[in-house]
Homo-oligomer: A and B are copies of this chain.
Amino acid sequence: MTALDAPRKPYDIDSLTDVALRVFAERGYDGASMDDVARAAGITKASIYHHVSGKEALLERGLGRALDALFAIIEEPEAREGRAIERLRHIVARVAETTLQLLPELTVLFRVHGASKSEREAVERRRAFDRHVTEIIAGAQRDGDVRRDLDPRLASRLIFGMSNSVVEWYRSGTLSRETIARAVVAIAFEGIAARRG
């Protein structure tokens, strides 16, 4: 054990992916260089290639993490059983929580636009997630629990647009994750207006 200063990082694929995602989230994937990642990891650029095949592999692993986390949510029992509006409430809350918990991963995912092959696959998986939620909203609308003047697809996009936007400003501190997730659900379902009576 070199007990001096170096914490002696493990430097495996996963820990390098952690570092890379933080850098990608901060500088943007295109704007971040492998040297940036290397410096953040306390290692040389060439050494990264001993562990991963390249820059895009780091992105791909990050996108996979993010999407796996999202799809895990819609597999949860509370997202599969019960009234549509309650399933929706659960999903929205859990997506917001997960976004705050896996902030770098989801920051990168939400900014991807299909430039490369792995990006295009990620966009496709996101669309599948979106379709699933849109279906639930349509169901809740049929139940009479969601106002009928809203297009389900539009509502889905706006709600997750609101939820996803936390990656643009959240920095751990002042507001707790719970507070934010609760606010997302509150606005999405009841809005900011004070209830009358």
The residues of A with any CB-CB pair to B shorter than 8 Å are 26-28, 30-31, 85, 111, 113, 115, 137, 144-151, 154-155, 157-166, 168-169, 175, 179-180, 183-184, 186-195
Contact B27 A147 (CB under 8 A): no
Contact A158 B147 (CB under 8 A): no
Question: Chain B nearest CB: distance from A119 CB in Å?
Answer: 11
If A85-B193, A189-B191 are given as contacts, then 5 extra A-B residue pairs at C-beta distance below 8 Å, sorted by A number, are: A145-B193, A150-B187, A155-B187, A162-B165, A188-B191
A154→B146 CA distance, assembly (Å): 24
- The listed residue with most B CB atoms (<10 A of its CB), out of A113, A151, A192, is A192
**Main SS at interface, chain A:** helix
9 contacts between A and B (CB under 8 A): A28-B28, A146-B194, A147-B193, A150-B192, A151-B179, A160-B165, A161-B162, A164-B165, A188-B191
Contact B162 A158 (CB under 8 A): yes
Per CB-CB distance, the 5 closest pairs between chain A and chain B, nearest first, are A161-B165, A162-B162, A30-B30, A191-B191, A190-B191
Question: Chain B nearest CB: distance from A13 CB in Å?
Answer: 25
Note all chain B residues with C-beta closer than 8 A to A169: 157
A113→B85 CA distance, assembly (Å): 36
Note all chain B residues with C-beta closer than 8 A to A194: 144-148
Contact A165 B175 (CB under 8 A): no
Identity of the chain B residue whose Cβ is nearest the Cβ of A30 in the assembled complex: B30
A194→B149 CA distance, assembly (Å): 10
- The listed residue with most B CB atoms (<10 A of its CB), out of A146, A148, A151, A191, is A191
Note all chain B residues with C-beta closer than 8 A to A31: 30, 115
Question: Chain B nearest CB: distance from A148 CB in Å?
Answer: 8
Question: Chain B nearest CB: distance from A175 CB in Å?
Answer: 6
